[in-house]
């Protein structure tokens, strides 16, 4: 029953209605959730989410949509988060908290197309929030990006790799992923530029150097590829003893020796291979390549498919 107006100094003043108090249970539940840091946080998030969902539809629910979506996300009710955010965004509520919950829920539901389209729309206004979600959810996004590439959704895959690479400081693998994507899309010179930027930023990243060598080899630049692989091997040998000789560069050097016996190499790759095999004797591919090169040296180069 609604409260009746009261007469104060000759004016009718509306007393607080029962409906106006309806958000108090939610506010109290959300405060408990927000203050929690231990294992009870998940249960408190679910309770806060329940109270939010019990709010009457309309202005009251829309007013608390960012907090409600935040609790509902922590409660892992991802479909409900998307519903809450979609409803709130429709009337112009685009707070950073709501954007963060919305984008995260889209990733958790593996809705890659919807995530990219929404994130691209949000980027200019709340770039920091979009980048935070990209960085936090990168592990979940990468396999979805690979699927998108295989299914021909190259525009969204390219956007994601580019935006991941734009997060500073950019680790070498993100720049390498973007360069590899560009290479797969046939944007060879753009890929070369990204590789060079990455190598300048991460000069000690031996995996990045190896990837650059693979790019050069595939692009018909074997001598330049040799130099990249050689630098990758040198970086490998410069690592602490427990990590040394475990990188991929030596395998690629021996592969070049096996497939391009006419290509001059700056040193005997079999000597490097022996060092690597001592560190990882189970490296099957490297063993096979070493055997190929050794047989070629004994019998002369063989014709390979």
pLDDT band at 21 (very low <50, low <70, confident <90, very high): low
pLDDT band at 296 (very low <50, low <70, confident <90, very high): confident
Cα torsion 84, 90, 91, 93: sign = positive
- Rounded Cα distance between 286 and 222, Å, is 19
Same domain? For 61 and 128 the reply is no
Residue 295 falls within a domain, yes or no?
A: yes
Percent of the chain with pLDDT over 90: 80
- Rounded Cα distance between 53 and 68, Å, is 8
Residue after which a domain boundary falls, among 109, 141, 164: 109
DSSP character for 290?
Answer: H
pLDDT score at 169: 85
Residue after which a domain boundary falls, among 157, 177, 202: 202
Residue 172 falls within a domain, yes or no?
A: yes
For the residues 116-137, what does the mean pLDDT come to?
97
Residue 3 falls within a domain, yes or no?
A: no
Across the chain, the runs of DSSP E, i.e. the strands, are 6-8, 11-13
Owning domain of residue 198: 116-202
Q: What is the pTM of this model?
A: 0.81
For the residues 299-305, what does the mean pLDDT come to?
60
CATH number of the domain bearing residue 152 = 1.25.40
pLDDT band at 299 (very low <50, low <70, confident <90, very high): confident
Quickly count: other Cβ atoms within 10 Å of residue 131's Cβ.
17
Angle between helices 206-218 and 172-184 (to 10 degrees): 10
Min mean pLDDT across 2-16, 59-73, 90-104, 161-175 is at 2-16
Length, in residues, of the chain:
305
Same domain? For 226 and 295 the reply is yes
Q: What is the pLDDT of residues 229-288, one digit of tens each?
A: 999 999 999 999 999 999 999 999 999 999 888 888 988 999 999 999 999 999 999 999
Same domain? For 85 and 141 the reply is no
Report the number of distinct structural domains present in the chain.
3
């Amino acid at each position: 029953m609604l409260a009746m107006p009261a007469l104060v100094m000759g004016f009718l003043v509306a007393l607080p209605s029962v409906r106006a108090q309806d958000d108090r249970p939610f506010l109290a539940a959300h405060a408990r959730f927000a203050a929690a840091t231990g294992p009870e946080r998940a249960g408190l998030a679910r309770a806060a989410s329940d109270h939010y969902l019990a709010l009457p539809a309309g202005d009251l629910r829309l007013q608390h949509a960012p907090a409600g979506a935040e609790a509902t996300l922590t409660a892992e009710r991802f479909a409900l988060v998307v519903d809450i955010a979609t409803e709130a965004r429709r009337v112009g509520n685009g707070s950073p908290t709501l954007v963060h919950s919305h984008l995260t829920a889209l990733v958790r539901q593996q809705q890659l197309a919807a995530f990219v389209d929404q994130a691209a729309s949000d980027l200019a206004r709340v770039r920091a929030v979009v980048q935070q979600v990209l960085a936090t959810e990168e592990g979940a996004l990468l396999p979805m990006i690979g699927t998108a590439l295989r299914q021909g959704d190259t525009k969204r895959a390219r956007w994601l790799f580019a935006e991941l690479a734009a997060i500073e400081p950019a680790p070498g693998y993100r720049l390498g992923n973007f360069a590899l994507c560009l290479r797969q899309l046939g944007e060879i010179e753009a890929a070369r530029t990204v590789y060079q930027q990455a190598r300048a930023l991460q000069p000690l990243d031996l995996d990045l150097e190896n990837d650059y060598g693979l790019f050069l080899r595939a692009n018909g630049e074997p001598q330049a590829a040799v130099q990249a692989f050689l630098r990758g091997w040198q970086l490998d040998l410069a690592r602490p003893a427990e990590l040394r000789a475990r990188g991929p560069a030596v395998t690629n050097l021996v592969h070049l020796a096996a497939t391009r016996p006419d290509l001059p190499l700056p040193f005997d790759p079999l000597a490097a291979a022996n060092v690597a095999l001592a560190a990882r004797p189970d490296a099957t591919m490297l063993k096979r390549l070493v055997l190929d090169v050794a047989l070629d040296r004994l019998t002369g180069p063989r014709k390979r498919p």
